[in-house]
Structure 1
Amino acid sequence: MSFAAGKPTRLLLVRHGATALTPEQRFSGSGGDDPALSTDGRWQAASTALRLAELGPVHAVVSSPLRRCRETAEAAAQQLELRVSLEVELREADFGAWDGLTFAEVRERYPDELAAWLAAPAAVPGGTGESLDAVTRRVEQARDKLLARYPGQTVAVVSHVAPLRTLVRLALGAPPESLFRMEISAASVSEVAYFDDGSATVRLLNDTSHLFEDPRI
């Protein structure tokens, strides 16, 4: 495959740092509580800010409006001497009644509903949640706005597991089931480059190399 000439638009995809729910791998969507970063999450955010500076120059920082992302983005913006722009379409999926539960708890309480969600992107989680099809539509809108707003520039995009997996999946042209085969760790960095001809390439996935040294030490 050949790519169009010219400087690509780079999206540096950052998952927010850890919250109290992260170590227990609980569903934490946009329809439940809005937790802050934990102590570990705050140092992860500081480390990620330094990593973004290495991958730059970064021209803009754009974040989901949820608190854990805003706090992660603010650490990056301070390091990069930029301001944070909020994009509501980058929020996490709404998991309905599953919010706050572990995967094992959902499997025990809602086995049929979970099986449907894993099998079909149109399935609605937690009774009143948001399907992966709906997440994909709004993430596509957010991506297209960023590409139009920042052509040829590098943008740090601070978001959540579902939106970030979706951006990678769309760049790869992979099927919906690939969402469940990607690891997007807390405070990880991935990168997608977009070219003028509409093509995209994934350059980095789930980089956590910056998290092995605590910046507080």
Structure 2
Amino acid sequence: MTFAAGEPTTLLLMRHGETALTPEKRFSGSGGSDPALSETGRRQAEAAARLLAELGPVHAVVSSPLRRCRETAEPAARKLGLDIRLAAGLREADFGSWDGLTFAEVRDRYPEEWTAWLASPSAVPGGTGESLDSVTRRVEWSRDQLLARHTGQTVLVVSHVAPLRTLIRLALGAPPESLFRMELAAASISAVSYYGDGSASVRWFNDTSHLR
């Protein structure tokens, strides 16, 4: 992967706001329901939009096509005067039959699958879901497209836990198991800058100060 010289390209990585499933710690992937933001989630999206409008120039807004991300991106796009571009590669992982279950329910009902998923990025969750290796491939492709299209700019990326953790993991050069050691709260903002020499720097992580 190569980057143009000059100003870094910065991706502001925002997780979508809460849905009804978020506080219950239920799997909510791309293969099941497509929940809307809850009232709390809508308030979180508005609070994040106010912060983003104060940060300085944001040149583009890119969102997962799933409803909870589009609804999170809309207030920020309005305040920034930008359109939202949808990127299918930034959708959440497909969790197969785990979708809608709590983490505890998955551990109880599918203990062998759960253990395998935690141990290997090639494991397929929920029988018909998407491995983390597959998520990584499409997220890498989406990242490279963004960097090529927005060289030297700042881009707001509204997505989900698995894709955002993956972007941060790749920037750090961390192993796949690090994905399970990151906390990304609803409507949190992280930031990664990509430089002309090919290096990347994680500048913020899981910032929720705008929600207080």
Cα separation, 1, equivalents of 2:139 and 2:162:
9
After TM superposition, list the pairs within 5 Å mapping 1:139-150 onto structure 2. Answer: 139-150=139-150
Contact 1:171–1:201 at 8 Å: present in 2 too?
A: yes
Structure 2 unmatched ranges of 5 or more? none
What's the offset of the Cα at 1:5? 6.1
After TM superposition, list the pairs within 5 Å mapping 1:97-116 onto structure 2. Answer: 97-116=97-116
- The 4+ residue runs of structure 1 with deviation greater than 2 A are none
Cα separation, 2, equivalents of 1:166 and 1:109:
27
Alignment-derived partner of residue 173 in structure 1: 173
Aligned to 1:205, the other structure's residue is in SS state strand
Alignment-derived partner of residue 195 in structure 1: 195
What's the offset of the Cα at 1:196? 1.1
Aligned to 1:24, the other structure's residue is in SS state coil
Cα separation, 1, equivalents of 2:46 and 2:114:
35
TM-align CA RMSD: 1.2
Cα separation, 2, equivalents of 1:174 and 1:56:
30
Alignment-derived partner of residue 215 in structure 1: none
Aligned to 2:162, the other structure's residue is in SS state helix
Aligned to 1:23, the other structure's residue is in SS state coil
1:161 aligns to 2:151 (yes or no): no
**Alignment coverage as a number of residue pairs:** 210
Write the deviation string for residues 82-113 of structure 1: whole angstroms up to 9, x where unpaired: 10000000000000000000000000000000
TM-score (norm 2): 0.97
Counterpart of 1:176, as a letter, is: P
Alignment-derived partner of residue 24 in structure 1: 24
What's the offset of the Cα at 1:197? 1.3
Cα separation, 2, equivalents of 1:89 and 1:141:
8
Cα separation, 2, equivalents of 1:56 and 1:84:
18
Structure 1 unmatched ranges of 5 or more? 213-217
TM-score (norm 1): 0.95
Write the deviation string for residues 62-94 of structure 1: whole angstroms up to 9, x where unpaired: 000000000011111001111000000000000
Alignment-derived partner of residue 136 in structure 1: 136
